[in-house]
Amino acid sequence: MRNVDVRRYAPAIVIVVLVAAPLAIWAATSGSSDGTDKQGLIVERGVSVTGSPELILSIAGPVTVDTGASSVKVECMDKDGDVILKGDQPWPFVEEAGYPYPHVHQVDDPAKIEGARRCRVLGTDKRLEAAVQ
């Protein structure tokens, strides 16, 4: 068997490692471009049909309520972690055309909607909490 001259192939090996390693890491950690790889709660700001601000809370992935209840509680916190918005929403969330996940529209005072930084859904089998996007 022939001996491989490492000095001869070292530059090619280094280049392959420097290019392939970051590409492999990027491919392993990146999700799909359509956003369907998310799991858990997704909270986005929106505008209702009346023109007032709202929060759209979506559930990505399978989630059930602990007690089989027909509603869940929604709480949103401000930048200091104080609960500024509370509400009850029917469960399960609604599947609606134009939205990739079951969701609800949380409306409240516009100042509270604008001040919300994190929201959570209480009463489910999984911890559902996310930053407002």
14 domain residue, yes or no: no
Indicate whether 15 belongs to any domain.
Answer: no
| Predicted local distance difference test score (pLDDT) of residue 14 | 74
Better pLDDT: 61 or 32: 61
How far apart are the C-alpha atoms of 63 and 29, rounded to whole Å? 24
| pTM exceeds cut of 0.75 | no
As a whole number, mean pLDDT of residues 23-37 equals 56
- Separation CA 107–CA 56 (nearest Å): 9
Give yes or no for residue 129 having a pLDDT over 70: yes
Q: Is the peptide bond before 22 cis (omega within 30 degrees of 0)?
A: no
Q: 94-126 burial by CB neighbour count: b if 16+ within 10 A, else e?
A: eeeeeeebbbbebbbeeebbebbebbbbebbee
Q: What pLDDT score was predicted for residue 1?
A: 53
Alpha helices in the chain (DSSP H): 6-29, 110-115
Looking at residue 2, its pLDDT comes to 66
Which CATH number is 55's domain given?
2.60.40
Contact by Cβ (8 Å): 57, 132: no
Q: pLDDT, tens digit, for every residue of 88-126?
A: 999 999 999 989 999 999 999 999 999 999 999 999 988
User: How many structural domains comprise the chain?
Assistant: 1
- Residues of the domain holding 107: 40-131
Q: What pLDDT shows up at residue 24?
A: 63
For position 27, what pLDDT does the model report? Answer: 60
The three-state secondary structure class of 8 is: helix
Average pLDDT of span 17-35 = 60
Q: Which residue has the higher pLDDT, 22 or 104?
A: 104
Please give the pLDDT value at position 20.
65
Tell me whether residue 28 is in a domain. Answer: no
Neighbours of 74 (CB within 10 A): 23
Give domain status of residue 5, yes or no: no
Tell me if 68 is assigned to some domain.
yes
